[in-house]
Amino acid sequence: MGDIETYIRLRNSGIALVEHIPGTPDELRALGASASDAAELAALHQVYFGPTRYTGKQRKARQAALAQKHSLGTLTLIETYTAKVKKTLDAWNLRIKLAATPAHRIRHVATARLKELQAKRTAKPGVRITYRAEGPNTLSITDDATTIANMRGVLESTNTDLLQAANDVFFKEGTGSKPAVRTQVIVTLNELDQIINGEGDDIKLNLTNGGRMTGAEFLTHKFAEIGYATLVHPLDGPINTWRLSRGANLNQRLTLHAEFHTCSRPGCNKPADYCHVHHLVPWQAGGYTNIKNLTFLCAYHNGINDDDPLRPTGRGYMYRLNTGVSFIPPWGAPITAMPEYQEALARLNTEQATAPAQGAATTPGKASQSQAVPPQPPPDSS
Ligand SMILES: [Zn+2]
């Protein structure tokens, strides 16, 4: 057998080769290995056969790598990913997972897992400054949710351009006082009972500007400083079922806050105060402006919500199911196939057919027919 074949066969033997490597780089250098080869081989031996507190995990990783017949190159590839993990235990779990993964899938699996591990990290309160050689530089503040919400309130009350506002707060005399933040604290009746029973410290209440306070803090907090306090029964609530106007009125907006305190798209934490009021069955298709048909969406998620057959986005949409307001993914039924949507559209067409002064019946899906122009929406509603 030629040298090349021998070399390839040995590299392919992976764990079996690693087992017979002498322990230290120096010993390998003495055998004639280059510095980088010596470092690579000794490190692999250390990982799979060296002393460790995690002998059980080490054995598992070895067995998995043997079963997958990982080559020396693949074992080294796995180490490039485990090196990115700070905690030894996490690194071992990742190593076992990758050792048990077919070689061609390792990059994909590792990238996904590293992303998860990073997402788990929680931000520590503090002020961080990033300096760049040519600027611009960055000053970022991390603190509890209420403080950040209040800071944002101060900036917004100073200037709509938040960077200018920050400059004014820092450098202009007489600005930067705490404004009367007009937000809302949500208390359900059962929570109120608990607060009154003295269990207030155990309850976390959400503020619609993204802040949080305990039930005890709520009792000592002046209502005037919050703006509104709404007591909402968990089951009952004011629900009007007629089609009033496109814009949600203040009461509807306030009631809506009781159900949602952020953008309703899963994973989005944009506080409700900075969201649009959104019609689940679109107003243009005959959707009502009532609590059941409204939710909060941030500007971005409102923009990509796939509810207009004339402008498909392919990004899924929000809809009220029996379980509450839910995200319908792009591979789910289109909104035009939903029974409530079809009912609303049929009702709208009937209304418009019996009211000729307002123009012909329209179908949102057909631009050529839309002669009746829907009323202009108020800026915060869609
Ligand atoms: Zn959002």
Given pLDDT bands bounded at 50, 70 and 90, which one contains residue 227? very low
**Residue 283 to residue 236: CA distance in whole angstroms:** 25
CB 227 within 8 A of CB 181: yes
One-letter amino acid for residue 85 of the chain: V
CB 102 within 8 A of CB 67: no
CA-to-CA dists, residue 93 to 71, 74, 116, 132, 342, angstroms: 20, 17, 13, 36, 51
Given a cut of 90, whether residue 61 has pLDDT beyond it is: yes
208 Cα: distance to centroid of ligand 1 (angstroms)? 14
Give per-residue pLDDT as tens, 5-49: 998 998 899 999 999 887 788 888 888 888 888 989 999 999 999
243 Cα: distance to centroid of ligand 1 (angstroms)? 26
215 Cα: distance to centroid of ligand 1 (angstroms)? 27
Given a cut of 70, whether residue 367 has pLDDT beyond it is: no
Residue predicted with more confidence, 379 or 203? 203
- Please give the model's pTM, rounded to 2 decimal places: 0.43
**Residue 288 to residue 246: CA distance in whole angstroms:** 8
Give per-residue pLDDT as tens, 92-134: 999 999 999 999 999 999 999 988 887 766 788 899 888 888 8
What is the average pLDDT across 170-190?
63
What mean pLDDT is reported for the chain? 78
**Residue 317 to residue 340: CA distance in whole angstroms:** 14
175 Cα: distance to centroid of ligand 1 (angstroms)? 31
Given a cut of 80, whether residue 308 has pLDDT beyond it is: yes
317 Cα: distance to centroid of ligand 1 (angstroms)? 12
Nearest to 150 by CA among 201, 221, 199, 220: 221
209 Cα: distance to centroid of ligand 1 (angstroms)? 14
Q: Are strands 212-214 and 227-232 parallel, antiparallel or unpaired?
A: unpaired
∠ CA 269-273-279, rounded to 5°: 85
316 Cα: distance to centroid of ligand 1 (angstroms)? 13
Segment among 55-64, 206-215, 269-278 with least mean pLDDT: 206-215
User: What is the per-residue pLDDT for 316?
Assistant: 95
**Residue 284 to residue 246: CA distance in whole angstroms:** 9
∠ CA 368-372-376, rounded to 5°: 115
Given a cut of 70, whether residue 381 has pLDDT beyond it is: no
